[in-house]
Amino acid sequence: MMNIVEIAVLGLACWRLTSLLYQEKGPFDVFKKLRERLGITHIEDKPCVYPDKFLCQLFSCVWCLSVWIAAILTISYIFLPIVTIYFSVWLSLSTIAIGLDKWLVVVE
């Protein structure tokens, strides 16, 4: 059974991974290239045109994509809990750093 810390870590990781896949370029434009391979068109590095295909439509909705990412993380946690938690900690720390950066920029 998951404890509250694991749920929080997995939740932050879910948001980070969803954000990467939905809108960010990523290192070496890997996520942008993935979206382009799916047929998604970008303007000024932001995804904007989504063909009428299942994966393109999935990537067009952050809410829908997050449900699938959460499902994948949950299933992964069931079968590989230690690996999933360590992977999720990595993404969660990135989420916290991004949140702090945005908060500190607003506070300044």
At 34-85, the pLDDT tens digits run: 999 999 999 998 898 889 999 999 998 999 999 999 999 999 999 999 999 9
Q: Name residue 47's beta-bridge partners.
A: 42
Q: For a pLDDT cut of 90, what percent of the chain falls above it?
A: 76
Host domain of residue 43: 4-107
List, in order, residues 6 or more apart from 49 with CB less than 8 Å away: 40, 41
Per-residue pLDDT at 108 exceeds 70: no
Q: Residue written as tokens 């690996």? A: 83
Q: Number of folded domains in the chain?
A: 1
C-alpha to C-alpha distance for 105 and 93, rounded to whole angstroms: 18
Tell me, what's the pLDDT at 1?
A: 82
DSSP-based helix, strand, coil % in the chain, nearest 5? 75, 5, 15
pLDDT of residue 107: 66
Instruction: Find where tokens 């720390």 sit.
Output: 93
Per-residue pLDDT at 2 exceeds 70 = yes
Whole-number Å distance between alpha carbons of 92 and 14: 8
> What's the pLDDT at 49?
87
- Most distant CA atoms of the chain, gap in Å: 44
Percent of the chain with pLDDT over 70: 98
Read off the pLDDT of each residue in 11-33 and give the average, rounded to a whole number: 96
* CA atoms within a 13 Å half-sphere pointing along the CA-CB vector of 68: 15
